[in-house]
Amino acid sequence: MFILNLANNFKYKENIMQTIRGFRDILPEQISLWQKVEKEAILLFEAFGFKEIRIPILEKTELFARSIGEVTDIVEKEMYTFEDRKGDKLTLRPEATASIVRSYIQHKMYTIDPVRKFYMIGPMFRRERPQKGRYRQFYQIDAEVFGIESAYIDSQLIFLLNELFKRLGLTGLSAHINSLGCPECRPSFQKALLDFIESKKDRLCENCLRRMDKNPLRILDCKIADCRKALANAPATLDYLCNDCSDHFDIVKTTLEKQGLDFIVDKSLVRGLDYYTRTAWEIQTTALGAQSAIAGGGRYDGLVKELGGPQTPAIGFAIGFDRLVEVMEQIDKTPEDRPLDLFIVSLGDAAMEKGYHWSCELNQAGIRTEMDFRGKSMKSLMKRADKLSAQYVLIAGENELMENAIVLRNMNTKEQVSLAMENLVPELIKICKNNIEEILRD
């Protein structure tokens, strides 16, 4: 009995000490690429006139159901939905567009200026089958533009994405673009699609058949190999575009061509969310196996109105942050950590106190300074300085304090100088800053 309890206890402890399936920690050792991407993305977004927006992680379920579409994989199968204590149905956001549209409408942003550009970076939640590049909590870098109908914005967002990936050193990506038409041209396409599907009915799965009446476009998302084969020659939206949609798509293509950006017109690209109209795109990579889409986006000219705002054209994209980092890891673009600038070896209580104040002032000035407060010996402190790859070590013991001659050792050249306490911190800042500049120059 006792042994059984012990075993159960052990198992219980083991389970709660594991992240939930599809959820993971991003550890300090992995974070440098995430930070590098974030810095580049923010720099670029700001240059293109975007402002950051922060939105809640939890929203009313209906917001997502109405914007992404009731009959989509995300809403039917993947959302983390629960009732709170009052019985309100809430969902962990599976994407950012719906919430940003909600915010645009809720705060009546269109009354001040309908043209708005936002970006946000944060976690999303979808209960998909976890595998490489696919997680249940994953991160997106999202951008949305409101109030601009012109096709130049479509090209500009694809240009922006391309520029970001170029700056991050990514190669081998391909941009797949398509046009999904508008409410004017959709009905004739849907009719052709339904006729086609009708002729293939006996080869389609139950889910496809169910979607026939409710949302036939989503049949084209089916991942089952037999269905995909049956649907290989299905009609494409591109062949049913009205004149306006066709002209719009032409401008997108010619602009990208003039900017020297390669793209593939991919008639089969339908995206998995219902809100799209006109231009839709995905940036794909071959580096992540089945999870080829590293970013996806498109126009959604009807969504603001659909959710209760005024008619407002809109367009945006989201980058799969986890996937982007995984591709960067493969091409070994991990930025080297800047080494520690200075380690303070303080021996004895008086030196410890002095060292504490020096280190705070140096940290304040942006100098990466560490010291050890455990009262260790000179030998073990020097070992620690080595372990942290300190560029300089400041040695302060009782003698040094008494003689007002604090020793500064250059760990690369092994040269030592003595510094007086009066001007110690400014002197150290000068020396360390020169050294940082030299490191950055190399």
Query: Where does this chain bind ligand HAM (CB under 6 A)?
Result: 95-97, 126, 128, 133-135, 138, 140, 142, 144, 272-273, 293-298, 316-318, 320, 322-323
Instruction: Report CA Rg, the chain.
Output: 29
Which of 313, 384, 311 has its CA nearest to residue 344? Answer: 384
Q: Which is nearer to ligand HAM, 122 or 272 (CB)?
A: 272
What's the rounded Cα separation, in Å, for the pair 314 and 298?
Answer: 9
Q: Which is nearer to ligand HAM, 173 or 241 (CB)?
A: 173
Environment class of 190 (CB within 10 Å of its CB; exposed 0-12, middle 13-18, buried 19+): middle
Chain center to CA of 331: 18
Q: Which is nearer to ligand HAM, 97 or 162 (CB)?
A: 97
Instruction: Answer left, alpha or beta for residue 291, where phi above 0 means left and psi between -120 and 50 means alpha.
Output: beta
What's the rounded Cα separation, in Å, for the pair 169 and 79?
Answer: 34
Q: Which is nearer to ligand HAM, 117 or 323 (CB)?
A: 323
Beta bridge partners of 369: 342
Q: From the CB of 283, what's the least distance to ligand HAM, in Å? A: 8
Q: Which is nearer to ligand HAM, 126 or 368 (CB)?
A: 126
Environment class of 22 (CB within 10 Å of its CB; exposed 0-12, middle 13-18, buried 19+): middle
Q: From the CB of 139, what's the least distance to ligand HAM, in Å? A: 8
Q: Which is nearer to ligand HAM, 296 or 302 (CB)?
A: 296
Q: Which is nearer to ligand HAM, 270 or 294 (CB)?
A: 294
Q: From the CB of 92, what's the least distance to ligand HAM, in Å? A: 13
Q: From the CB of 429, what's the least distance to ligand HAM, in Å? A: 43
Q: Which is nearer to ligand HAM, 126 or 354 (CB)?
A: 126
Q: Which is nearer to ligand HAM, 133 or 147 (CB)?
A: 133
Q: From the CB of 137, what's the least distance to ligand HAM, in Å? A: 8
What's the rounded Cα separation, in Å, for the pair 317 and 121?
Answer: 12
- Sign of the dihedral through C-alpha 177, 69, 272, 163: positive
Q: Which is nearer to ligand HAM, 125 or 240 (CB)?
A: 125
What are the C-alpha distances in Å from 184 to residues 245, 303, 321? Answer: 9, 15, 35
Q: From the CB of 282, what's the least distance to ligand HAM, in Å? A: 6
Q: Which residue is nearest to ligand HAM (CB)?
A: 320
- How many other CB atoms sit within 10 Å of the CB of residue 365? 14
Phi and psi angles of residue 265, each rounded to the nearest 5 degrees, phi first? -80, 115
Pairing of strands 293-299, 314-320: antiparallel
Q: From the CB of 278, what's the least distance to ligand HAM, in Å? A: 12
Q: From the CB of 59, what's the least distance to ligand HAM, in Å? A: 13
Tokens of 421: 């306490």
Q: From the CB of 143, what's the least distance to ligand HAM, in Å? A: 7
What's the rounded Cα separation, in Å, for the pair 24 and 329?
Answer: 17
Q: Which is nearer to ligand HAM, 50 or 135 (CB)?
A: 135
Q: Which is nearer to ligand HAM, 249 or 317 (CB)?
A: 317
Q: From the CB of 217, what's the least distance to ligand HAM, in Å? A: 15
In sequence order, what DSSP letters do the residues of 88-137 get, joined into one string? -EEEE-S-SHHHHHHHHHHTTHHHH-S-EEEEEEEEEE--PPPBTTB-SE
Environment class of 58 (CB within 10 Å of its CB; exposed 0-12, middle 13-18, buried 19+): middle
What's the rounded Cα separation, in Å, for the pair 143 and 113?
Answer: 18
Q: From the CB of 56, what's the least distance to ligand HAM, in Å? A: 16
Q: From the CB of 304, what's the least distance to ligand HAM, in Å? A: 12
Environment class of 353 (CB within 10 Å of its CB; exposed 0-12, middle 13-18, buried 19+): exposed
